[in-house]
Structure 1
């Protein structure tokens, strides 16, 4: 598998569609490819936003139409020539989701339906939760797609953690991939290392191995970000040694 081939797997990886061997090869590539890290983060945020936007069950004819059309849209390898039988337009790398990845996300949303949103609708505060989720997805997408976004990655607890920071927005997003579930009754908590102290930056969802989390609060001169295991609900200060520390990318 060539490097060019690996660049084409970002969308499939974000949708958890790679078989085990290809996934392992791609993750090794991901640890040293900043552009692929950013694309994976963007595709993950796009898929989450599309899922939260599914406010009604998808009709079978629409699902069949989307699944049929996606077979005719593909990503072109970087630098590849285009011809009459090839895709005429390709989104520049690092400038937003490619057309095929957006179609894949939409197809996945159509195939699986609005499960998450139906759960919201059955809850008493469904509308408020959906609105909050949409606002957060917008903010995550804003940081990931910022023109000044910079990234830094590290291995954390057997998975991969990627920090994406926008100085202009003074915000950060933590993108986790394949993190093992925390112990029962525990949660992963994010922290800003700020002038020798640890400032809580929010909790990660314990039921998701891969996720993009908008870190709570401004970066505001912090020197790094840490991840600890804390009791459910979080702690005012870390109670365990950080599983990983990432310096703020400069």
Structure 2
């Protein structure tokens, strides 16, 4: 499946019309494609609006017309037998109408709920893509900063490089060839604030090579540490650091 094929699936995805394999492939693409996320959000929002019930007030002249007809149209009294048939027919008609109305409401509710869910998913993907784009810009800003300084270290059989920009007050950690942490564990980055460790974010446990924008400002930290923590991270280090780096001069 080509990227062009994936770009053409926005409408079908918004209407929940893709088979499972294509939907899964498209959602992986959607997480990194801001233009598709925007298009899906627009399609889903339109579908949700169409699925919701709407009403419009009657025109003022309609009331006058109905009142006029009441006073001028003669009503013919029905006989008892035809009236009974009419009543039975009306009862059957009302029953059928109620079933039809219930079916329509159920269908509109189901479709509306699906459309709203798809819209929320698209919005989430759009926000994720925007956040990833902002982080990429911040990483590039730190790496290209005129005052950027670096320090490298061996980490668990791989290599790590710390890049710090004092002017931007941000740091980036670049890992290469690091093995995956044990199952259920994650590498966590820390700023060393004079012996007190402050969490600076988690690394992706499924990637051996990655670039991480460390969370928060450097704020005068004296160094950076890396520990192995339970999935989701810890408020304080629970293991001895596998690497410690002083801030580059």
Structure 2 length-normalised TM = 0.54
Q: Deviations over 1:123-158 (max 9, x none)?
A: 441101000000000000000111110100000000
2:212 is paired with a residue of what secondary structure? strand
CA contact 2:31–2:129 (8 Å) conserved in 1? no
Q: Deviations over 1:90-120 (max 9, x none)?
A: xxxxxxxxxxxxxxxxxxxxxxx99854345
Query: CA RMSD for the aligned pairs?
Result: 2.2
Residue 195 of structure 1 and its aligned partner are, at CA, apart by 1.6
Quote the residue 1:221 is aligned against. Answer: 220
CA contact 1:57–1:114 (8 Å) conserved in 2? no
Distance 1:167 1:114, change over 3 A: farther
In 2, the alpha carbon distance for the partners of 1:187 and 1:215 equals 15
Quote the residue 1:152 is aligned against. Answer: 151
Residue 178 of structure 1 and its aligned partner are, at CA, apart by 0.7
CA contact 1:159–1:176 (8 Å) conserved in 2? yes
1:206 is the counterpart of 2:211? no
> 1:109-128 alignment to 2 at 5 Å?
116-119=28-31, 123-124=121-122, 125-128=124-127
Distance 1:141 1:184, change over 3 A: same
Unaligned residue ranges in structure 2 (runs of 5+): 6-24, 38-117
Quote the residue 1:248 is aligned against. Answer: 247
2:219 is paired with a residue of what secondary structure? coil
Structure 1 length-normalised TM = 0.53
In 2, the alpha carbon distance for the partners of 1:143 and 1:114 equals 32
Distance 1:115 1:162, change over 3 A: farther
CA contact 1:192–1:200 (8 Å) conserved in 2? yes
CA contact 2:31–2:126 (8 Å) conserved in 1? no
Unaligned residue ranges in structure 1 (runs of 5+): 1-55, 60-112
CA contact 1:161–1:177 (8 Å) conserved in 2? yes
In 1, the alpha carbon distance for the partners of 2:145 and 2:173 equals 15
Quote the residue 1:57 is aligned against. Answer: 3
2:183 is paired with a residue of what secondary structure? coil
CA contact 1:117–1:130 (8 Å) conserved in 2? no
